[in-house]
Amino acid sequence: MLVAAGRAPNTEDMGLDAAGVETAKGWVTVDSKLRTSRKHIFAAGDVIGGFLFTHVADHEARTVVQNALFPVRANIDYGVIPWCTYTEPELAHVGLTEAEAVDRHGSAVSAHAYDIGNLDRAIAERAAMGRVKIVVGKGGRILGGHILAPGAGTMIAEISLAMKAGVKLGTLGSLVHPYPTMSEGVKRTADAYRRSTLTGWRKSAVDLALGVGRRLPP
């Protein structure tokens, strides 16, 4: 049974009004540098709302330390925030869903998937259930990633890094992954994307090579 009850701020008895710190429905109001309405007071973590995750609180705390103690200040970046639901198997996510991407970017969006059950590691561990799905925009720019698999929370980091660094999905297909691992699912999804970009004789040649490979004796 899964109970998603949510969380609420508990700031009523902190005396924030007396300090001149503004709140909205109990959440502490901050700017892009995580400063409150009193510029020498910073706030981070669940008390400011938004992404209520431990790893996001850590990210915010690092930003607060830089902005409070050092002359060069930084804006908080929520551009690439992965998260994971620790079911069995795990369900991890970063960026946009396919529907969200289509709403924002239109017909340039495509989604590419690979079934985890086809991986040798999944077969060996009898973990046949799972899937990797990666959403891309024009030129193969990664807009979102979704993984249902054992260890998905770890696997999603590769897609998050690619999004943060502007690495395109086709490039992930050229990255050598250790064998046998679940992370090969990301590579196979990138392979599916690369095949989708082929046309004409190139597509025919790849289809022929894959067909011959499947018919060869082990």
Q: pLDDT tens across 152-165, in order?
A: 999 999 999 999 99
> Smallest Cα–Cα separation from 186: which of 123, 129, 130, 126?
130
> Smallest Cα–Cα separation from 95: which of 36, 158, 38, 41?
158
Give the burial class of 99: count Cβ atoms within 10 A of its Cβ; 0-12 exposed, 13-18 middle, 19 or more buried: exposed
> Smallest Cα–Cα separation from 33: which of 63, 69, 72, 78?
63
- pTM for this entry: 0.85
* Residues 193 and 173 sit within 8 Å (Cβ to Cβ): yes
User: What pLDDT shows up at residue 127?
Assistant: 87
**Per-residue pLDDT tens digits for 110-137:** 999 999 999 999 999 998 789 999 999 9
* Residues 64 and 56 sit within 8 Å (Cβ to Cβ): no
* Residues 74 and 123 sit within 8 Å (Cβ to Cβ): no
**Per-residue pLDDT tens digits for 60-99:** 999 999 999 999 999 999 999 999 999 999 999 999 999 9
